Structure 1
Amino acid sequence: MQTQLEASIKNTPAGEEADAILRSCVHCGFCLATCPTYQLLGDELDSPRGRIYLIKQVLEGAAPTQKTQQHLDRCLTCRACETTCPSGVQYGRLLDIGRLRVEQQVERRLYMRLFRYGLRKILPNRQIFAALMAVARIAKPLMPAKLKKSIPPASKTSLPVSNGRSQRAMLILDGCAQPVLKPSINLAANRVLNRAGISLVSAPQAGCCGALAYHLNAQEEGLDAMRRNIDAWWPYVVRQEKPVEAIVMTASGCGVTVKEYGHLLRHDDRYAQKAARISALTKDIGEVLAAEKDHLAALLTDTADLPHIAFHSPCTLQHGMRLNGVVENLLQSIGFKLASVADAHLCCGSAGTYSLLQPQLSKQLRANKLAALSKEKPDLLTTANIGCLMHLQAGTDLPVKHWIELLDEALH
C-alpha cells in the first residue's frame, strides 16, 4: 500500500512504524473472515481492512470524525486478523497509533471522558478496586440475579513468601484486578509450581501491567506503569543469589503486554535494555508447565474422575502470544478430556474494558462463545485470563475456572 503521511508524524517513531505497517498491507481481505465485529456487523469499516484504511486517511492528514472514532473503538484488539494475515501486518500496533491520533483530534462527550478516566484510575488501583468490591459484596443481596454473577465471593488469601528451598525461582505478577476478584488463581499457581520444584516470589511494588491505560489511549500513563514494574522486578533479575529464571503470568492479558515491554519502551534510553530483558524473561504459566508435563502426569495417577471441560483460549494467549494449543495439549497430556469448541479463534467479548465500553457487542460475542463452549455439555468451562473468566461467568450457570485452579484441584 502506498502512503503519504503528513509532515507532523512522518519522521516520528510512531509515524515510521505506522508507515512500515501500512505498506505491508496488500488489502487481500483474509482478515475479514476472522474479525468478530465484521462477523456481527457486516460493515467493511468494522473490519481490520476498513480500519486500516481509516487510520491511513487520518495519518495522511484527513480530519477524523466521531464516526472514525466509533469504528476504531469497536475493535476488540483481539488480533485474530494478525494470525490470519498472510503478509504479517502488525495490526494491533497500528491500531494503537491510529487511536491515539484520533483521540487527540476528536473530543469525546463529557460522560464518556469521565467514564474512561474512572476505569483508568479505579481498576488498576488494587486498594480502591478492593474497597469498591467490598461495598458491592455487601450490596449483593439487593442486586438483580444477572449482576450478582459479576460479584465473586470474598477471599482473604494472598501469595505466601517463597521459603527459598527450591532450586529454581520465578517471579509472578500479582496484577491489579485479579488479586481482588480471584486471588485463588495465583495461589493455585504457587502450589502447582512448588510441586514442580519452582518457588514463586512476588515483588510488592509491582502492580498493573499498564495495558488498561495504554489501550484507553492514555499511553504515557500506561508506559509509566510498565516502568514501575520493571523497577520492582529488576532487583530479582540481577541479584547475585538465585536470580529469577522467568516472570510468570497467570493472566494472558497481562502476559501479552509484558512480553511487549521491550517494543513499547524501545525509545526510552533509561529503560530500553531493561524492558527488553524483562520481555525475554516473561512466560505464560502454560509455557512453564508445558516443560513439566511429564512430571505432572506422574503426579496424576488417577484420572478417571477428572471433569469433562471446555477450554476458552483467550485472544491474548492464542493471537497475542501465539501460544494456541499449549494449554489444551498440556491438559490433555495429563488426562483431562476436552470438548471441541467451534470457532475457537473468535473473541468472547471481554477484551479488557471492551465489555464495559461496548456492552451490546460484547454480550452478543459472549452468547456466541458460550453456545460453542457448551455444545458438548461439559461439566465446567476453563480459560486463562481473568477478564474472560469473569465475563463468561456472568453469562452462564456453568462453573468457570482458570485452568491452573483445575489442575491444582486435580493434584490434591
Structure 2
Amino acid sequence: MQTFFSLQALADPEMAETEKILRACVHCGFCSATCPTYLLTGDELDGPRGRIYLIKEMFEKERPADARTALHIDRCLSCLSCMTTCPSGVHFMHLVDHARAHIEKTYARPVRERAMRAALAFILPRPSLARPLFHVAAAIRPLARWLPRRVAAALALAPPRLPPVSSVDTPQVFAAQGARKMRVALLNGCVQTVVDASINEATIRLLTRHGVEVVVAKGAGCCGALPHHLGKVDESLRYARANIDAWTREIDSGGLDHIVVNASGCGTSVKDYGHMFRNDPALADKAARISAMTKDVTELMTEIGFAPSGDAPKLRVAYHSACSLQHGQKISQEPVALLTAAGFDVVPVPEGHICCGSAGTYNVLQPKLAGELRSRKVANIESVAPDIVAAGNIGCIVQIRSGTPVPVVHTVELLDWASGGPKPGALARGEIGSADRVESRSGVL
C-alpha cells in the first residue's frame, strides 16, 4: 500500500511502525473472508481492509479521530483471524492498537459511553473492586430487561454465584511433587480470579503433579490487556511494568524457567511486552526477556510431557480454540493433542476460526454483534453434540456458558482431572462424568 506520511510524523517511532505495517498491505481482501464482523455486517469498513483504509487516512492527515473511524475500529474484536489469513504478514494487532490509542486521546465520546469504558478499565483489572461489582450484578440480573442494552449484556455475563476467594491467588510458592523439573511463575490474572478460581487451582495441581514448582509472584496481577484494548495505553503499561518488575525480582532471586499463563488473552499480551517497551531504554531488555520466557500452559505441558492417570471417563469434548490462542499465539494443535492423550474424544467445532464474541470487554460494549457471534458459536458447538466444551480463555468460557447448557470448562481442568485431580466443578454436580458408567449424548461410555 502506498503511503504519504510526513517526515515529521515518521519521526515518531510508533508512527513509523504503523507506516511500515500499512505498506505491507496489498489490498488482496483475503482477510475479509475470515473477519467475524465483516461476515455479520457485510460492510467493507467492518473488515480489516476497510479499517486499514480508515487508519491510514486518519494518520496520514494527522487529524483527530472522527465518529465513523471510532465506530468501525470499536467494532473490531482484535480476534486476529486476519493475521492468520493474511499472505503479506500485515501485523494488524499493532496497527489497531495504535489506532485505538489515538482514538482514546483525540475523539470525544458521548459522556455515558466514556464513563462505561473508564469504569470497565478501572474496575475489572482490580479483583477487590470487581468482586463486589459481580455480586451486585448477580443480584440485579432479574431487572436486566428494563436496563440499557450494554448494562443488560454485562449482567447476563455475571455468574449467578461467585466462588470464594481462593488461597492460591496470593503470593506464595507451590512445591513440585517428586523431582523438580523446572520453576515457573504463574500469572493468576484479575477477572479470572473472581469468576472462576478453579482454573488457577487446577493449573497449580497439574503443574506441581508433573514436577513443576509454581510461584505466584508478589506484585504481579492484571496483564494490562483490558485497558490496552480500550485505548488506555498508559494504564496498560503500568500493569505491564508491575508484572515485569515482579517477575524480574523472581528471576534474580530464585530463578525462573518460564512465565506460565492460562488465559490466552493474557498470554498474547505478555508475549507482546517486548514490543510494547521496545523504545523504553530502562525496560526494553527486561520486557523482551519476559516475553521470550512466556508460555501458555498447554505449551508447557507439551514440553514437559503429560502423564494421564486413566481415571477420567471417555467423554466427547468440543474444543473451542480461543482466538488469542490460535491467531494471537499460533497455538492450535497442542491443546487438542493433550486432551486426546488424556483419553477424551476431542471433536472439532465447525467454523472454529470464527470468534465467539467475547474479546475482553467487547461483549459488554458491542452486545448486538457479540450476541450474534455467540449464537453462531453455540450453534456450531451444539451441532457436534459434545458432553463438554473445553477452552483456554476465561472470556470465551464465560461467553459460551451464557449461551448453552453444555458444561464449559478450561482445558487445564480436564487435564488435571485426567491426571489424578478432582472432577471439574461444572461436571461435579452430577450432569455427566460420574465415576460409574456414564450416559451421554454420544451414547453409553
Matched, 1:10 2:10: yes
Matched, 1:360 2:365: no
- Aligned match of 1:272: 284
Show CA shifts across 1:269-309 (max 9, x none).
1111100010011000010011234x41xx33356x22211
Structure 2 CA distance for aligned equivalents of residues 262 and 156 of structure 1: 32
- Letter of the 2:173 partner, please give it: S
Structure 2 CA distance for aligned equivalents of residues 163 and 110 of structure 1: 46
- Aligned match of 1:170: 184
- Letter of the 1:300 partner, please give it: S
Point out the more displaced range, 284-293 or 316-325.
284-293
- Aligned match of 1:283: 295
Structure 1 CA distance for aligned equivalents of residues 138 and 364 of structure 2: 19
**How far has the Cα of 1:134 moved from its partner?**
3.4
Matched, 1:258 2:270: yes
Q: Could you say what the CA RMSD is over the residues aligned between the two structures, in angstroms?
A: 2.0
Q: If the length of structure 1 is used for normalisation, what is the TM-score?
A: 0.94
Matches within 5 A, 1:137-286: 137=138, 150-151=158-159, 152-159=161-168, 161-164=172-175, 167=180, 168-239=182-253, 241=254, 243-286=255-298
Structure 2 CA distance for aligned equivalents of residues 67 and 278 of structure 1: 37
Structure 2 CA distance for aligned equivalents of residues 380 and 178 of structure 1: 20
Matched, 1:309 2:317: yes
SS for the counterpart of 1:155 is coil
Show CA shifts across 1:111-155 (max 9, x none).
111110000110001111122223445556887899566314323
Point out the more displaced range, 256-265 or 138-147.
138-147
- Label 1:315 to 1:149 Cα distance change in 2 as closer, same or farther (>3 A): closer
Show CA shifts across 1:93-117 (max 9, x none).
1111122223333210011111100
- Letter of the 1:84 partner, please give it: T
Kept after mapping to 2: 8 A contact 1:312/1:382? yes
**How far has the Cα of 1:8 moved from its partner?**
5.0
- Aligned match of 2:425: none
Kept after mapping to 2: 8 A contact 1:6/1:59? no
* 375, 398, 410: which one aligns with 1:402: 410
Identity %: 43
Kept after mapping to 2: 8 A contact 1:382/1:401? yes
SS for the counterpart of 1:162 is strand
- Label 1:217 to 1:336 Cα distance change in 2 as closer, same or farther (>3 A): same
Kept after mapping to 1: 8 A contact 2:356/2:373? yes
- Aligned match of 1:320: 328
- Aligned match of 1:54: 54
Structure 1 CA distance for aligned equivalents of residues 100 and 233 of structure 2: 11
- Letter of the 2:183 partner, please give it: A
Kept after mapping to 1: 8 A contact 2:123/2:130? yes
Structure 2 CA distance for aligned equivalents of residues 282 and 126 of structure 1: 23
- Aligned match of 2:41: 41
Unaligned runs of 5+ in 2: 146-151, 421-445
SS for the counterpart of 1:339 is strand
Structure 2 CA distance for aligned equivalents of residues 357 and 292 of structure 1: 40
Matched, 1:119 2:120: yes
Structure 2 CA distance for aligned equivalents of residues 163 and 76 of structure 1: 36
- Label 1:141 to 1:215 Cα distance change in 2 as closer, same or farther (>3 A): closer
Kept after mapping to 1: 8 A contact 2:138/2:158? no
SS for the counterpart of 1:347 is coil
Matched, 1:29 2:43: no
**How far has the Cα of 1:4 moved from its partner?**
0.8
- Label 1:223 to 1:352 Cα distance change in 2 as closer, same or farther (>3 A): same
- Label 1:11 to 1:113 Cα distance change in 2 as closer, same or farther (>3 A): same
Matches within 5 A, 1:89-104: 89-104=90-105
Structure 2 CA distance for aligned equivalents of residues 137 and 209 of structure 1: 26
Structure 2 CA distance for aligned equivalents of residues 42 and 140 of structure 1: 33
- Label 1:204 to 1:302 Cα distance change in 2 as closer, same or farther (>3 A): same
Structure 2 CA distance for aligned equivalents of residues 137 and 100 of structure 1: 32
**How far has the Cα of 1:5 moved from its partner?**
1.4
Structure 1 CA distance for aligned equivalents of residues 91 and 162 of structure 2: 40
- Label 1:182 to 1:96 Cα distance change in 2 as closer, same or farther (>3 A): same
Kept after mapping to 1: 8 A contact 2:31/2:82? yes
- Label 1:143 to 1:214 Cα distance change in 2 as closer, same or farther (>3 A): closer
Structure 2 CA distance for aligned equivalents of residues 140 and 103 of structure 1: 31
- Aligned match of 1:80: 81
* 297, 300, 307: which one aligns with 2:309: 300
Structure 1 CA distance for aligned equivalents of residues 414 and 191 of structure 2: 20
**How far has the Cα of 1:199 moved from its partner?**
1.5
Structure 1 CA distance for aligned equivalents of residues 25 and 335 of structure 2: 31
- Aligned match of 2:379: 371
SS for the counterpart of 1:351 is coil
Point out the more displaced range, 253-262 or 4-13.
4-13
Structure 1 CA distance for aligned equivalents of residues 174 and 20 of structure 2: 49
- Aligned match of 1:411: 419
**How far has the Cα of 1:354 moved from its partner?**
0.4
Matched, 1:334 2:342: yes
Equivalent residues, number: 406
- Aligned match of 2:428: none
